[in-house]
Amino acid sequence: MSQQYPGPSHPYGPPKKKRSTGATVAMVVGGVFLFLVALGALVGPDDSENDKADKPSAPVAKTTPASSPAPETTAPPASPAAPPATTPAPSTPPAKPSAAQLPSFVGMGLQSAQDKAQELGYYYLTSHDALGRGRNQISDRNWKVCSQSPRPGSHPDTTKIDFGTVKLEETCPATDAGGDVEEAGSTMPDFQGKSVKVAREALDSSTSLDVKDVSGEDRMILVESNWQVCSQEPAPGTALNGQPVTLRAVKFGEDCY
């Protein structure tokens, strides 16, 4: 049986065991951590936070609630002032119409006669067809004066002046056949020689009127003031009770047949 002998002793003692790598890393990390903790203790808490804690907060301005506006007061309506007393003006009598000397206008053109009458202060002017045909004086320069009413003399300037006229190419009648048309009334007037227009205006507007051309040409009667009555039914003087009226006529200047 063999016998083991211990080897020679190590001059520095028995060899030390090697540390593992993980243990070394843990020791380094732990040392760094301890260093940081110690450094934080030396520095102390954040001064900025301390400053905020030490500074007193700014005083908050107190706001006074706005006072409510005073209620509006409506002034009582002022009583209407009494109208000033007025002294009635003395009544003045109306101005009296002045008189002027009315000349004769016969032979003048209708327009010239009217202008002259107005120069003298006469403004109430009218005119009519002296031939009794009931024509209107549309263009005064185409008519001439055959008669006048009133006659020449001194008359107030409010007097109505009526001129009897015919067209320039016509001859004035010996007797004025114009003027206002008289209504027929209850008896049939004599329309012979008058215009159909005058006869129609004299009869009641409800009268049934038949006008015929007796020249034999059977013409239409359009402008009734250009046609003269040759005969009529009923006869003049007959009582009118609503019966129809017949007029037979030809144009002025033509002979009745």
Burial of 113 (0-12, 13-18, 19+ CB in 10 A): buried
User: Is residue 180 included in any domain, yes or no?
Assistant: no
Q: Which domain holds residue 157?
A: 100-167
Order across the sheet with 209-213: list the strands: 209-213, 245-251, 227-233
Q: Coil, strand, or helix at residue 78?
A: coil
Residue 53: pLDDT band by 50, 70, 90 thresholds?
A: very low
Residue 49: pLDDT band by 50, 70, 90 thresholds?
A: very low
Residues of the chain with pLDDT > 90, as a percent, come to 55
Q: What is the DSSP string of 114-135?
A: HHHHHHTT---EEEEETTSS--
What is the number of domains present in the chain? 2
Residue 80: pLDDT band by 50, 70, 90 thresholds?
A: low
Comparing CA positions, the residue from 188, 181, 160, 177 lying closest to residue 252 is 177
Q: Same domain for 120 and 163? A: yes
User: Is residue 27 included in any domain, yes or no?
Assistant: no
CA 207 to the chain's CA centroid: 44
CATH of residue 108's domain is: 3.30.10.20
Structure tokens at 12: 């520095």
pLDDT computed for residue 168 by the predictor: 98
* Euclidean distance between CA atoms 104 and 238, whole angstroms: 41
Q: Coil, strand, or helix at residue 147?
A: strand
Q: Same domain for 152 and 105? A: yes
CB-based contact 152:199 (threshold 8 Å):
no
Residue 235: pLDDT band by 50, 70, 90 thresholds?
A: very high
Rounded to a whole number of angstroms, the CA Rg of the chain reads 67
User: Is residue 147 included in any domain, yes or no?
Assistant: yes
User: Is residue 215 included in any domain, yes or no?
Assistant: yes
User: Is residue 114 included in any domain, yes or no?
Assistant: yes
Choice among 21-35, 156-170, 217-231 with the minimum mean pLDDT: 21-35
* Euclidean distance between CA atoms 159 and 123, whole angstroms: 8
User: Is residue 155 included in any domain, yes or no?
Assistant: yes
Domain boundary among 167, 183, 207: 167
User: Is residue 152 included in any domain, yes or no?
Assistant: yes
User: Is residue 58 included in any domain, yes or no?
Assistant: no
Provide mean pLDDT across the span 101-111: 97
